[in-house]
Amino acid sequence: MQILGEIGFAVILAAILPFFVRYFLLPSSIYHEYPLNVIFNTCDHDLHSVCSFPAASLEYEKNHLFSANIYYALIIRLKFADIETTKHLGLFQNSIEIRDEHEKLLKKFTKSAVLKEPTWLTRATWITFFPLYFLGAFHDYSTLEVALTQEYLEILEKPSTKLIYTLHDKFANIEEAQLRIIAKFGLIRNFLYYWPISSTLFMFFTILISILCAIGVKYAYLHYFAQKPQENGEILDGPVKNHEKPVKIEKSVKKEPKIEVEGFSADEFQPETFGESPKNEILHDTLRKRK
């Protein structure tokens, strides 16, 4: 039952951790599209003339549009009016200013662009395949995308609150304008954001297999050390069974009985040379007297 509980815990942990990984690795602001209301000022002396460049502003809260320490691409999509002045617009300049809450300029990006005219071959293709042209299958030459920067980095200590777009040509007639903000990621964050299901499944199985391998190593370790005491308890003739203590066999030493000799008591010391022929006269006289 213990191993089943550990496997269940591994499955739950592997299912929860991918969401925490996505929360901590992915920034809060990744992709935004905002429509821009492009306006201009008219002249006091001639109400039909334009006396300013077309411009649009976007205000937002701190750390809402941009996350700190993340690079962003700023792209403007413009749709021009189909009028005669648009055909002779020529080269024009676009700019984006990023300001803080005190209207202090933090960053400014500029880029030139030109609206191209379709060639006669392109127009002939439109006429030939008019149904496809009507459905929008071909490129719209009245629409232009301008990538002003790919590396805008917002600093945490200086958050922005306002963005101003300006088209530096008063003869430009814009029907629609749109701002796209795209976070630029590395390989791991790209995988997490653009392939959410695949990345979640990959993290789930990776974490699950890692935890199951750790559980297997733990049980193998415990099994190995459980067998170790039995190996250490073995003796030369075989293992000791039922924890029996080996019997110590003591060898009894057979004592030879003492031989009593005439003229000596049993406890009296008997010289080893007793009974032999005396080697001198003094010893011979002593023995004879004792007899």
Please state the rounded mean pLDDT for residues 30-36: 91
Quote the pLDDT of residue 16: 93
Please state the rounded mean pLDDT for residues 29-33: 88
Domain end among 155, 185, 215: 185
Please state the rounded mean pLDDT for residues 207-211: 92
CATH number at residue 41: 2.60.120
Please state the rounded mean pLDDT for residues 254-276: 53
| Percent with pLDDT over 90 in the chain | 33
Greater pLDDT, 129 or 55: 55
Quote the pLDDT of residue 236: 44
Is 75 a domain residue?
A: yes
Lowest mean pLDDT among 42-51, 116-125, 178-187: 42-51
The answer to whether residues 129 and 34 belong to one domain is yes
Q: Supply the range of the domain harboring residue 283.
A: 260-291
> Whole-model pTM?
0.65
> Is the C-alpha dihedral spanning 261, 266, 269, 272 positive or negative?
positive
Quote the pLDDT of residue 79: 92
Phi, psi (degrees; rounded to nearest 5) at 28: -70, -30
The DSSP result for the chain, as a single string, is: -HHHHHHHHHHHHHHHHHHHHHHHHS-S--EEEEE---B-PBPSS-TTSB-S--EEEEE--TTTS--TT-EEEEEEEEEE-SSHHHHT--EEEEEEEEE-TT--EEEEEEEEEE-PPPPHHHHHHHHHTHHHHHTT-S--TTEEEEEEEEEEE--TTS---EEEEEES-TT--EEEEEEEEEEE--HHHHHHHHSHHHHHHHHHHHHHHHHHHHHHHHHHHHHHHHHHHHHHTEETTEEPGGGPPPPPPPPPPPPPPPPP-TTS-SSS---TTTTSPPSSHHHHHHHHHH-
Structural domains in the chain (count) = 2
Please state the rounded mean pLDDT for residues 240-260: 52
Is 22 a domain residue?
A: no
The answer to whether residues 137 and 278 belong to one domain is no
Partnered with residue 66 across adjacent β-strands are none
The answer to whether residues 123 and 267 belong to one domain is no
Quote the pLDDT of residue 280: 53
Quote the pLDDT of residue 257: 53
Mutual orientation of helices 2-25 and 187-194 as an angle, nearest 10°?
100
Q: How remote is the C-alpha of 241 from its chain's centroid?
A: 54
Quote the pLDDT of residue 286: 57
The answer to whether residues 269 and 167 belong to one domain is no
Quote the pLDDT of residue 291: 53
* Confidence class for position 86, pLDDT limits 50, 70, 90: confident
Quote the pLDDT of residue 52: 84
Lowest mean pLDDT among 93-102, 105-114, 190-199, 253-262: 253-262
Is 284 a domain residue?
A: yes
Is 216 a domain residue?
A: no
Is 191 a domain residue?
A: no
Is 227 a domain residue?
A: no
The answer to whether residues 170 and 38 belong to one domain is yes
Quote the pLDDT of residue 104: 93
The answer to whether residues 172 and 266 belong to one domain is no
CA proximity to 179, closest of 253, 106, 94, 257: 94
Residue 285, sorted as left (phi over 0), alpha (psi -120 to 50) or beta, turns out to be alpha
Q: Please return the burial class of 173, using the count of CB atoms within 10 Å of its CB with bins 0-12, 13-18 and 19+.
A: middle
* Confidence class for position 26, pLDDT limits 50, 70, 90: confident
Residue 108 in this model has a pLDDT that exceeds 70: yes
**What's the pLDDT tens digit per position in 120-149?**
887 788 788 878 777 777 777 788 999 999
Greater pLDDT, 171 or 93: 93
